[in-house]
């Protein structure tokens, strides 16, 4: 029998109420990659107020026939904040698409932005600028120090819930009352 993986790729990281980094306060992060080499994820519940999708397309000089104005631009994390990433359902594939698992994929090309604008992109998607990144062992240490909870990823939380409900919903999937969680580290 195989031992469970020590890595949390394709899971959600949910910031503990005691998260000391204000950039990640009440964040939900979809983990796209996690290995001995480090980790990379996209924050899925922090829309940017300062930039609309149409403004982003104008800035990138992307012209489209039409525009889906329901698309929001999110803060994906503090690393490479000017770089765009689209976390999406696995029904869309491009040469540069990274399949994370059977349900989720990640694409970081101009082509996916054009497809999204014209309504020809993936069934479900989340557009983000930047990503959250961790050096080797860093995320594992943050989890051990009660900075993050891990929850199985779910398309409902990532793509369909309102952003202000995602954190509470992800915590609720653990079956615990968030007010009972402590930031203290305990050992049996």
Domain ranges of the chain: 11-180
Q: Who has greater pLDDT, 132 or 52? A: 132
Was domain 11-180 assigned CATH 3.40.50.970? no
Q: How far from the centroid of its chain's Cα atoms is residue 68's Cα? A: 21
Mean pLDDT (whole number) for 152-165: 96
Buried b (16+ CB within 10 A) or exposed e, 41-58: bbbbbbbbeeeebbebbe
Which of 111, 98, 88, 97 lies closest to 158, judged by CA?
Answer: 88
Cβ atoms of 135 and 34 closer than 8 Å: no
How far is CA 149 from each of CA 141, 166, 169, rounded to the nearest angstrom?
Answer: 12, 14, 13
Distance of alpha carbon 166 from alpha carbon 126, whole angstroms: 13
pTM: 0.90
Mean pLDDT (whole number) for 9-31: 95
Q: Who has greater pLDDT, 69 or 139? A: 139
């Amino acid at each position: 029998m195989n031992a469970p993986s020590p890595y949390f790729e394709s899971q959600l990281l949910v910031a503990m109420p005691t998260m000391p980094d204000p950039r990640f306060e009440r964040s939900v992060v979809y983990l796209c990659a996690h290995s001995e080499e480090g980790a990379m994820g996209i924050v899925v519940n922090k829309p940017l107020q300062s930039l609309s999708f149409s403004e982003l397309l104008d800035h990138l000089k992307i012209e489209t026939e039409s525009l889906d104005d329901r698309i929001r631009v999110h803060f994906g994390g503090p690393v490479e904040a000017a770089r765009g990433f689209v976390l999406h359902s696995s029904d869309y594939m491009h040469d540069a698409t990274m399949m994370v698992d059977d349900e989720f994929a990640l694409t970081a090309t101009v082509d996916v932005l054009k497809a999204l604008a014209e309504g020809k992109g993936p069934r479900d998607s989340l557009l983000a600028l930047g990503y959250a990144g961790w050096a080797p062992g860093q995320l594992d240490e943050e989890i051990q120090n009660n900075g993050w909870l891990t929850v199985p990823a779910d398309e409902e939380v990532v793509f369909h819930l309102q952003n202000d409900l995602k954190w509470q919903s992800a915590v609720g999937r653990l079956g615990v009352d968030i007010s009972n969680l402590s930031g203290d580290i305990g050992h049996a």
